[in-house]
Amino acid sequence: MVSDSGLHATYLGPILERHGHAAANLLQILCEAQEYYGYIHPDAVDYLGAMLHLPRSRIEGVATFYSFLHLQPQGEYRVLFSDNITDRMLGSTALMQQMCQQMWVEPGKVSEDGLLSINTTSCSGMCDQGPAMLVNGRAITRLTHQCVQEIGMLIRNRTPLVDWPSDFFVVDDNIRRRGPLLDNKLEPGDSLRTALALGTQNIVGVIQQSCLRGRGGAGFPTGLKWESCRNAQGSEHYVVCNADEGEPGTFKDRVLLASYADLVFEGMTLCALAIGATQGYLYLRGEYRYLLEFLQFVLQRRREQNLLGKNILGQAGFDFDIAIHLGAGAYICGEESALIESLEGKRGIPRNRPPFPVTHGFLQQPTAVDNVETFCQAALAIQMGADNYRAIGTPKSAGSKLISVSGDCPRPGIYEYPFGVSVREVLHDCGAVNTRAVQVSGPSGVCIAEAEFDRRLGFEDLPTAGAFMVFDDSRDLFEVARNFVHFFAHESCGFCTPCRVGTSMLKATMDKIAAGLGTRYDLGEIEHLDHVLQTSSHCGLGRTACNPVLHTLKHFRPAYENRLKSLEFKPAFDLDGALARARQMTGRDDAGAHLKPEGA
Ligand SMILES: Cc1cc2nc3c(=O)[nH]c(=O)nc-3n(C[C@H](O)[C@H](O)[C@H](O)COP(=O)(O)O)c2cc1C
Ligand code: SF4
């Protein structure tokens, strides 16, 4: 009989082997270890600590940071309902209640027989086909009551996931409008050949002349980033593709990875050629785990096509390969320096900046971190040429943008537009009617009301990472903001006090108002909190956490005021009331036992 520790060695040994016994791969090792045990077994922690020469605290510190990792046993089937506002609008709360009742499980707990645990997770990136859930990491979309019932039966019968109806796991692309990117006719290797013909030294120049700006949100000029990285001193240079896509309402990177993977890898390889990198990483959010095998397959095919590996396309010294790292359910890991920490197998806590990743990134070496779409756009810009590329869009926003449309409209999905498209035009194309508000660029972006629907998507006016959530006139914008505030409080990494405490206070204030106990004073406090968060948060999460409330307060103040206990209420302490118990205990209720009325 194999002892427990023998069992751990038998199973964990090969995992460690695959990851080169490197502490930098701790997150990947833990993810794989969990796949076997269903959670990270205490003996596994000991074993990994001994083999990787890491203290238990380091391993547990990492395991407790990521919401998909568990140190306690979870259900054999782990069900997570996606909890974005668009899932809620499609009935996810009732579906989760139904499953909890059907299966006799409390949310957040494991069933007594250890069969099942049910909980929520932040946005799963399936807003165009919600309500969605993850079962043992696999996404199931377009949930209905009947489907939830069937899932309950499959779980009760302990049916292995591979034997579930395959149509449960279909994730559609929902591409509704194509432009130069989604309509491209590029074959694998085309952009690389063009780049090689241009000359390695000229790639950055073309990207700069094309005026390509990052598509991950901040809009940093890509050519400038690549140039700074190329010129930075280091023993190695790295390319990192940010496929964390955690902003609620954004799912365009999912579609690019699923249907344009070659273009993503081509853009990364171009970047490697431009900055002189030999190794790249794709940081794939845990929610997109289902794409892993497919992406590995594409990478392998590219190796066989000599588009990765040694002497790519016969160019001596052009060596580059890409590895995929899985995230584990932490929104903050989309922030580039937190992502790098996570790539290094640590907790995803944003670094102090400067120094920036272009000089001190992965393993303190020069690193270009770009969004999935940015790499695709870079490959397109090289192929089209700078002038043709720049001719699309607006003067400050060159090219096209993928928009992830969700919410109250009959045609949710991916829309590609030249930058400069108006909000009204997008609403028209997706068939939205009676629209009350649009949340542009997710909870950390802006909420705009009808009077602003002629505003344009682009860096001049409304910058966006891609999310476009539509709310019609049946929606309560207070509840929308409350959902977003809960998201930020849950996703704050906890490193700095203003954000850790501030996002919790904000959540508590919104819950208080929702319960009908809020006052006008609380609205003032939110503005005060915003000031604190804006001025003293360590990273962008804290700085934008109050946005949903401030924007909805600006446009939809009655949604808040209707819930307040009293508009005129001034907070005070009722000392006489507080003394009632003392009076009762002493048996006194005469005038002398009461506070004297003022002026008496
Ligand atoms: C809290 C937070 C979350 C972020 N999440 C993402 C993300 O999921 N994907 C992404 O590309 N960029 C994200 N970013 C922006 C990245 O830090 C970084 O700017 C981006 O990856 C750079 O790529 P780009 O220049 O191609 O846009 C996030 C930033 C913050 C502050
Ligand atoms: S602002 Fe929030 S998310 Fe960012 S480092 Fe501070 S605690 Fe973490």
Q: Does the beta carbon of 411 lie inside 6 Å of ligand 2?
A: no
How far apart (Å, rounded) are the C-alpha atoms in residues 32 and 34?
5
Residues, the chain, total?
A: 600
- The pLDDT of residue 11 is 87
Considering only CA atoms, which residue is closest to atom 4 of ligand 2? 539
Going by their DSSP bridges, the two strands 446-449 and 435-440 should be labelled as: antiparallel
Cis check: omega of the bond before 354, within 30 degrees of 0:
yes
How far apart (Å, rounded) are the C-alpha atoms in residues 239 and 225?
11
- The pLDDT of residue 202 is 96
Considering only CA atoms, which residue is closest to atom 12 of ligand 1? 216
Q: Does the beta carbon of 494 lie inside 6 Å of ligand 2?
A: yes
491 Cα–ligand 2 center, Å: 9
Among 244, 247, 495, which residue has the most ligand 2 atoms within 8 Å of its CB, making it the best to mutate? 495
Among 336, 376, 402, 538, which residue has the most ligand 1 atoms within 8 Å of its CB, making it the best to mutate? 336
Q: Report residue 399 as tokens.
A: 């090219």
Ligand lying closest to the C-alpha of residue 370? 1
In ligand 1, which atom is closest to the CA atom of 374? Answer: 26
Pocket of ligand 1 (CB under 6 A): 214-218, 220, 242, 244-247, 332, 334-336, 369-371, 374, 539-541
Closest Cα to residue 440, out of 540, 459, 289?
Answer: 459
How far apart (Å, rounded) are the C-alpha atoms in residues 564 and 523?
10
348 Cα–ligand 2 center, Å: 10
Each domain of the chain, given as residue ranges in start order, spans 4-65, 77-172, 176-391, 397-475, 478-561, 570-600
Q: Report residue 166 as tokens.
A: 């395959």
Question: In degrees rounded to 5, what are phi and psi of residue 181?
Answer: -75, -55
pLDDT per position as a tens digit, 394-412: 999 999 999 999 999 999 9
User: 340 near 351, Cβ under 8 Å?
Assistant: yes
336 Cα–ligand 2 center, Å: 13
Q: Where are the alpha helices (DSSP H) in 492-573?
A: 497-514, 520-536, 540-544, 547-555, 557-561
**Which runs of E-coded beta strand occur in 306-445?**
321-326, 367-371, 393-394, 397-398, 400-407, 413-418, 435-440
Sheet holding 77-82, edge to edge: 116-121, 77-82, 133-135, 138-140
- The pLDDT of residue 364 is 97
Report which DSSP code applies to 596: P
CATH number of the 77-172 domain? 3.40.30.10
Ligand lying closest to the C-alpha of residue 444? 1
Give DSSP secondary structure letters for 280-325.
EEEEE-GGGGGGHHHHHHHHHHHHHTTSSBSSGGG-TT--BEEEEE
- The pLDDT of residue 254 is 98
Cα–Cα separations (whole angstroms), residue 318 to 202, 267, 513: 15, 15, 60
349 Cα–ligand 2 center, Å: 7
Give the dihedral of Cα atoms 190, 192, 196, 198; nearest 10 deg. Answer: 70
Q: Report residue 112 as tokens.
A: 């007594």
Cα–Cα separations (whole angstroms), residue 317 to 277, 314, 321, 471: 11, 9, 13, 53
User: 448 near 437, Cβ under 8 Å?
Assistant: yes
Among 500, 507, 543, which residue has the most ligand 2 atoms within 8 Å of its CB, making it the best to mutate? 500
How far apart (Å, rounded) are the C-alpha atoms in residues 290 and 258?
10
Sheet holding 435-440, edge to edge: 175-177, 413-418, 400-407, 467-472, 435-440, 446-449
CA dihedral (211, 216, 217, 222) positive or negative: negative
- The pLDDT of residue 596 is 72
In ligand 1, which atom is closest to the CA atom of 220? Answer: 25
User: 282 near 241, Cβ under 8 Å?
Assistant: yes
352 Cα–ligand 2 center, Å: 11
Topology of the domain covering 397-475:
Ubiquitin-like (UB roll) (3.10.20)
Q: Report residue 4 as tokens.
A: 């427990």
- The pLDDT of residue 571 is 62
Topology of the domain covering 176-391:
Rossmann fold (3.40.50)
Considering only CA atoms, which residue is closest to atom 8 of ligand 2? 493
Among 487, 507, 537, 547, which residue has the most ligand 2 atoms within 8 Å of its CB, making it the best to mutate? 537
- The pLDDT of residue 2 is 43
Strand partners, 78: 117
Q: Does the beta carbon of 539 lie inside 6 Å of ligand 2?
A: yes
- The pLDDT of residue 455 is 98
**Kind and range of the H or E run holding 34:** helix 26-37
How far apart (Å, rounded) are the C-alpha atoms in residues 387 and 199?
18
- The pLDDT of residue 578 is 87
pLDDT by residue for the chain (600 residues), tens only, comes to: 345 566 677 889 999 999 999 999 999 999 999 987 889 999 999 999 999 999 999 999 999 999 999 999 999 999 999 999 999 999 999 999 999 999 999 999 999 999 999 999 999 999 999 999 999 999 999 999 999 999 999 999 999 999 999 999 999 999 999 999 999 999 999 999 999 999 999 999 999 999 999 999 999 999 999 999 999 999 999 999 999 999 999 999 999 999 999 999 999 999 999 999 999 999 999 999 999 999 999 999 999 999 999 999 999 999 999 999 999 999 999 999 999 999 999 999 999 999 999 999 999 999 999 999 999 999 999 999 999 999 999 999 999 999 999 999 999 999 999 999 999 999 999 999 999 999 999 999 999 999 999 999 999 999 999 999 999 999 999 999 999 999 999 999 999 999 999 999 999 999 999 999 998 889 999 999 999 999 999 999 999 999 999 999 999 999 999 998 776 666 677 888 888 999 999 999 898 888 876 555
Question: In degrees rounded to 5, what are phi and psi of residue 66?
Answer: -95, 130
With b for 16 or more beta-carbon neighbours within 10 A and e for fewer, the 65-91 pattern comes to bbbbbbeeebbbbbbbbbbbbbbbbbe
Q: Which CATH number fits domain 478-561: 3.40.50.300, 1.20.1440.230, 1.10.10.10, 2.70.70.10?
A: 1.20.1440.230
With b for 16 or more beta-carbon neighbours within 10 A and e for fewer, the 460-470 pattern comes to ebbbbbbbbbb
How far apart (Å, rounded) are the C-alpha atoms in residues 383 and 285?
29
Angle at the Cα of 138 from the Cα atoms of 41 and 65, rounded to 5 degrees: 45
Q: Report residue 72 as tokens.
A: 């306690």
Considering only CA atoms, which residue is closest to atom 5 of ligand 1? 334
How far apart (Å, rounded) are the C-alpha atoms in residues 414 and 127?
11
- The pLDDT of residue 574 is 80
Q: Which pTM was predicted?
A: 0.93
- The pLDDT of residue 1 is 38
Q: Does the beta carbon of 350 lie inside 6 Å of ligand 2?
A: yes
Considering only CA atoms, which residue is closest to atom 31 of ligand 1? 540
